[in-house]
A and B are shown apart, each in its own frame.
Chain A
């Protein structure tokens, strides 16, 4: 395991009485693609701004390569930021925008021109040097913003929902491109998004946040397959979450009957949340099902159908490539492996 490049220790931040961050501890390894994921107001952007230096934490410290940089101003930090709304300089052309940081470092003109050309090549904007930023599309502006940050060869690149304003197709393309750039340059990316799919696609590590606290840290697979609590399960992908009770290890009661599961380590009769992914529920004939129910709605989603089935007093979301018509009586079957048991989080 490589040395962490950034470490946040007990960081808290308060905005006019609302706690944006509560005692956050986080380390970021060199060269990894780390994503801060969560709904709006979860503190992910605040975390990024504290790393960039735009905000000072109320308590706690920020370390960069082992040095405390909590009170170092942004212009002295070895990180660069790509802003959500690009924040390009409207009075400069593309080349001048990208050269801004290099000119401040007083590099000679020849080196600057060479580096700017390299960056434009990297972000596929060759020939755009003299264009003014207002004449560019959103996607092109975003590329300029990325080039403007990367040209300074930062140790860490911070990206604040950089693809938020782009349309779906463009966004997908940029996701792949960003990942490629990150691999190619071999630098650390800290990426903020509320889009779980984006996070799963690009990240080495995902940090799921909610209400200023970290819910779970892990690889995309870990986060998706082993969500730590009902919030993470619900936020990462779609989930059926129902209340249940552990009878004993590997046996859980929910939806009016007992199910075999693979989880253990809970107290007997402990109240828990039971999470089942929609694609993990099998539709079978009524008499073969563990639960019986009736199809209430069917939506075609392209690859699969999304069906809502009412059974045992709950609505179950089921993804399947086979379609059952509305009103059909069906059976539901869930394998022990697909039942995820989670500790109840404070009632809310």
Chain B
């Protein structure tokens, strides 16, 4: 690869903000401070093999998967509608999905707290319909709701962008060959939009599995996801070694799941065609 001078700033940037932090992470993960100085160890990773921690990890992954699935179920039709001929000229609708992203996501999550809290708007409405003692805030559902709300645009946008680039002649060709809309969707549109779906899943799953703000605000102070666990180790306990170890394991989990998905993606398209 040819590197010219104008790529150096980016290289410096990557070294400072990606490579060095990553090396530090590895360093803290595999070392321990003893009387005899720094020693190599796997103890931090072994410590994670405790049911309490494993449950936290598992719960984070399950919630992230649920959130991703809901985002996909809501997001795909939205992408489809936005990309359809009727709406393509009307950028307003697409804009409506993007505008919330202009507001800090902490604020948006705080807004949900007010809506969901006791005597909040949603609470009052449910009470009005005589739902007995609705507990909304500080539940799994509230956390998933917060994630879906915050991460939905990351699912919609890649799908929308792949669908708008779809050659409309290809859809007409399918129609011409006798396919009705359902068949076209199944045989042509969905398979061709898979790259967008994959990137949407990636962009929702990753922040969902690592979130700690949404779980803190909507799940309550005692609600622990793996993101909260890591944050605690660094900010409260001050055990950088264990904090790094959890981050490392989480990173491996994410990389493995992405790898599996990429492989599935390639198989579906019948080898390295693209």
Contacts and interface: CB of A to CB of B under 8 A. Distances in A.
Contacts, number: 69
Contact of B175 (A74, A90, A148): A74
A104 B188 contact: no
A68 B260 CA distance: 53
A149 B176 CA distance: 9
A84 to B, nearest CB: 8
Nearest to B271: A132
Interface stretch (B37-45, B52-60, B120-128, B178-186): B178-186
Question: Residue among A83, A134, A152 with the most chain B CB within 10 A?
Answer: A83
A75 B173 contact: no
A87 B187 contact: no
B208 to A, nearest CB: 29
B191 interface: yes
A345 B174 CA distance: 42
Interface residues of A, number: 27
Contacts of B269: 91
B178 A152 contact: yes
A54 B172 CA distance: 7
A89 B180 contact: no
A98 to B, nearest CB: 10
Mostly, the B contact residues are helix
A85 interface: yes
A80 B176 contact: yes
B270 interface: yes
A81 B173 contact: yes
Contacts of B172: 52, 54, 74, 81, 83, 87
B181 to A, nearest CB: 9
B173 A105 contact: no
A153 to B, nearest CB: 12
A311 interface: no
Interface string B234-274: 00000000000000000000000000000000000110010
A87 B172 CA distance: 8
Nearest to B172: A54
B53 to A, nearest CB: 42
Given A88-B173, A91-B192, A104-B178, 10 more contacts: A52-B172, A74-B175, A74-B176, A75-B179, A87-B170, A89-B174, A91-B273, A101-B177, A104-B183, A132-B270
Q: Which 8 A-B pairs have the closest CB atoms?
A: A101-B177, A87-B169, A87-B173, A104-B178, A81-B176, A74-B175, A91-B191, A87-B170
21 contacts: A52-B172, A74-B172, A76-B178, A80-B176, A83-B169, A83-B172, A85-B167, A87-B170, A87-B172, A87-B173, A89-B188, A90-B273, A91-B192, A93-B270, A100-B174, A100-B177, A104-B179, A105-B178, A132-B270, A148-B173, A152-B177
Interface of A: 52, 54, 73-76, 79-81, 83-85, 87-91, 93, 100-101, 104-105, 132, 134, 148-149, 152
Interface of B: 167, 169-170, 172-180, 183, 187-188, 191-192, 269-270, 273
